[in-house]
Amino acid sequence: MRAMRSTNVGFGMVLIPVKLYKATDEGSNVGLCNVHVVCGTAVKEPKFCPKCEKMLESTELTKAYPEDKKKEHCIPLTEEEMSALPLASTTTIQIDGFIKSVPDLRYFEDVYVLEPEEKGMRAFALFEKALSETGMIGVAKYTLGSKEHLIALRPTGDGLLYVQTLHWTSELRNIGELKRPNVAVSDKELTMAKMLIDTLPKDIDLASYHNEYGEALLKLVELKKQGITITAPVRAPVKELDLVDQLMASLKAAEAAKVG
């Protein structure tokens, strides 16, 4: 398994060097591509048919199963054919059972929300209330687009229901080969780490965070227009300092921030 990159985890003033790995593998999914309805040729983006040498409208496209990686041989599939698949999950979210919690964060994928129609208000309210009071998560399968998903249903907290698509277990990559820290930590270090957690803010507002990457890209574009070259930030080196000293410095900095 290849690491995506090396980086640090900052815990107060403690820097923890880590490697980042992709935790899921979606290679087992059956992928579909767009083909030109007239000739069956795989369409390149933007919707251009290389065989007919023309741009296409969405009405001229249909889904297809590529029989080879180059998509030179594709089997067209119509919406009617795909909707006729003998799967209950194409029309119904059938609850198969319940779990108390999802056992692994790598299962989580996309999130949707359900709103009841007028005729289903009472039944919806009953199901939402039952889930809320038992703390259970409904498990089912449902087909979205051209993929069948494993899904979890849970209350939103304000009367609606979330549908959270989950990765199939077969998509979860084996992380058993990655190294675990085979070291001991002292009681003093553990106590100070817990103190640091207790000192840091507990009322973080996720809405206050925003994607700064897009803003940075726009600035980069402007700098390039001006002929200015920027240098990549250097990964902060992790010094061989005593862990207790780093924790102590972190606690003092956190306390100072509170006072300030």
Instruction: List the chain domain ranges.
Output: 33-83, 88-171, 180-200+210-259
Pull the structure tokens for residue 200.
């840091």
3-class state of residue 170 by DSSP: helix
- The pLDDT tens digits for 64-88 are 888 888 888 888 877 777 766 667 6
Residue 157 pLDDT greater than 90, yes or no: yes
pLDDT value for 216: 75
Class of domain 88-171: mainly beta
Pull the structure tokens for residue 205.
């507002």
* Percent with pLDDT over 90 in the chain: 17
CA-CA distance, 113 to 129, in Å (whole number)? 16
φ/ψ (deg, to 5) at 76: -60, 140
Residue 260 pLDDT greater than 70, yes or no: no
pLDDT value for 119: 80
- E strands, 86-193, are 97-99, 108-114, 137-144, 147-155, 161-166
Residue 30 pLDDT greater than 70, yes or no: no
Residue 246 pLDDT greater than 90, yes or no: no
Residue 212 pLDDT greater than 70, yes or no: yes
